[in-house]
């Protein structure tokens, strides 16, 4: 069945989308044609999977098989969960049959991409549920690949299928690393920004800061909550920011290949928000006291000012220079941020 403008299933999907991510919903709704519906459903299926992964009340004997089979539920009109997630996410899980109905109205190629990425992501989440911490930077990159890098791979395929972007470029496996970096840049920024929110999580916090990095600055990751460890905490924070910045050049390369305005805005706006967030977090001890966010006015400005690749280069340069100059003064003071990573990002 094709989608009608007043279709109740899509009306529900867009209403949940607008509630769970106000600013990002705007850029999704700006996408042209069928890709708008495909990305809206893709976003909701991923949020539902994320809700299952995050639900600490769900016992492992239920959660593990559900992560592995979640992709098959895109076709299951009877699937719904009345005890999973909170707020808008609880309604998303309860009324999942409406998401399934909308999903089944998408063209088959779009359905196949959404199911494939959901399957691979669910399998990756399953592997990481068993690990109780992220030890190496390799594991850190692998976890972020599963929960965010794969989203980039899926989006590139949707862009190619919609013909809004050149299939020779966006359906090519050569692009996978760049697509992956787009996701890692966003996810690592979220992981850095959300340190306090995550470590205060009840009953058991799930932390993604890799021991290979924080182990150089503390014996236990929760030591950074204590004011007396603030100096070490901030040195670790700066190290984490530089690690995230190492994906900036790939992200810029990916964005420079986009041609369609609405697709470009959809991709570029979260990226400029992320570089801005990294700049606000860099050398900022408040990350260990509250969730540090870009001021509302600045986010709004970034959204309207991100129209072209020149805008993105300029914005990345401003924020990378900001980080670089702070790093320079710290360098004078003998701390050890990996300045060359930052300056490499500036040279992009």
In the complex, the residues that contact ligand IN0 under the rule CB under 6 A are 21, 23-24, 39, 42-43, 46, 147-148, 151-152, 155, 182-183, 186-187, 190, 266-267, 270
Contact present, 208 and 140 (Cβ < 8 Å): yes
> Within a 10 A sphere around the Cβ of 348, how many other Cβ atoms?
16
Q: How far is the CB of 128 from ligand IN0 (least distance, A)?
A: 14
Catalytic residue among 224, 266, 288, 319: 266
**Residue among 85 and 183 whose Cβ is closer to ligand IN0:** 183
Distance CA 2, CA 106 (A): 8
Give the residue closest to ligand IN0 by C-beta: 152
Structure tokens at 169: 């470029």
Catalytic residue among 12, 110, 170, 193: 193
96 catalytic? Reply is: no
**Residue among 244 and 327 whose Cβ is closer to ligand IN0:** 244
Which residues 6+ apart lie within 8 Å of 234 measured at CB? 283, 284, 285
Nearest of 206, 154, 191 to residue 175 by alpha carbon: 154
**Residue among 85 and 152 whose Cβ is closer to ligand IN0:** 152
193 catalytic? Reply is: yes
Distance CA 274, CA 63 (A): 31
Catalytic residue among 3, 19, 206, 230: 206
Q: How far is the CB of 100 from ligand IN0 (least distance, A)?
A: 18
Peptide bond into 8 cis (omega under 30): no
Nearest of 97, 89, 119, 73 to residue 9 by alpha carbon: 97
Peptide bond into 203 cis (omega under 30): yes
**Residue among 100 and 191 whose Cβ is closer to ligand IN0:** 191
Q: How far is the CB of 26 from ligand IN0 (least distance, A)?
A: 9
Tell me if residue 159 falls in helix, strand or coil.
Answer: helix
Distance CA 128, CA 130 (A): 5
Q: How far is the CB of 232 from ligand IN0 (least distance, A)?
A: 27
Distance CA 257, CA 266 (A): 14
**Residue among 21 and 229 whose Cβ is closer to ligand IN0:** 21
Cα 315 versus chain centre, distance = 20
Distance CA 62, CA 270 (A): 33
**Residue among 179 and 326 whose Cβ is closer to ligand IN0:** 179
Q: How far is the CB of 64 from ligand IN0 (least distance, A)?
A: 21
Q: How far is the CB of 94 from ligand IN0 (least distance, A)?
A: 21
DSSP track, 294-325: --HHHHHHHHHH--SHHHHHHHHHHHHHHHHH
Catalytic positions, written as ranges: 143, 193, 206, 266
């Amino acid at each position: 069945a094709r989608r009608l403008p007043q279709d109740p299933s899509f009306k529900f999907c867009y209403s949940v989308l607008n509630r769970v991510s106000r600013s990002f919903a705007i850029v999704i709704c700006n996408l042209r044609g069928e890709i708008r519906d495909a990305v809206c459903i893709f976003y909701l299926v991923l949020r539902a999977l994320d809700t299952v992964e995050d639900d600490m009340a769900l016992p492992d004997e239920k959660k593990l098989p559900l992560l592995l089979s979640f992709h098959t539920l895109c076709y299951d009109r009877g699937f719904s969960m009345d005890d999973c997630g909170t707020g808008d996410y609880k309604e998303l899980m309860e009324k999942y049959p409406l998401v399934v109905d909308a999903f089944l109205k998408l063209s088959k190629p779009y359905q196949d991409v959404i199911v494939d990425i959901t399957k691979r992501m669910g399998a990756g989440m399953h592997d990481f549920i068993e690990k109780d911490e992220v030890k190496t930077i390799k594991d850190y990159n692998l976890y972020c690949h599963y929960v965010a890098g794969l989203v980039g791979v899926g989006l590139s395929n949707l862009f190619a299928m919609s013909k809004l972007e050149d299939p020779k470029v966006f359906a090519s496996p050569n692009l996978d690393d760049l697509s992956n970096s787009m996701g890692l840049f966003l996810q690592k920024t979220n992981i850095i920004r959300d340190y306090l929110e995550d470590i205060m999580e009840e009953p058991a916090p799930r932390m993604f800061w890799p021991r290979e990095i924080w182990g150089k600055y503390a014996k236990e990751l929760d030591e950074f909550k204590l004011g007396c460890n603030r100096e070490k905490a901030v040195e670790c924070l700066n190290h984490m920011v530089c690690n995230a910045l190492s994906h900036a050049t790939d992200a810029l390369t990916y964005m420079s290949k986009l041609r369609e305005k609405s697709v470009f805005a959809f991709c570029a706006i979260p990226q400029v928000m992320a570089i801005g967030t990294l700049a606000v977090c860099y050398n900022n001890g408040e990350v260990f006291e509250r969730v540090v966010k870009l001021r509302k006015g600045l986010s709004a400005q970034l959204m309207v000012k991100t129209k072209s690749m020149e805008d993105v280069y300029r914005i990345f340069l401003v924020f990378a220079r900001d980080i670089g100059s702070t790093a320079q003064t710290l360098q004078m003071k003998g701390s050890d941020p990996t300045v060359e990573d930052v300056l490499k990002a500036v040279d992009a």
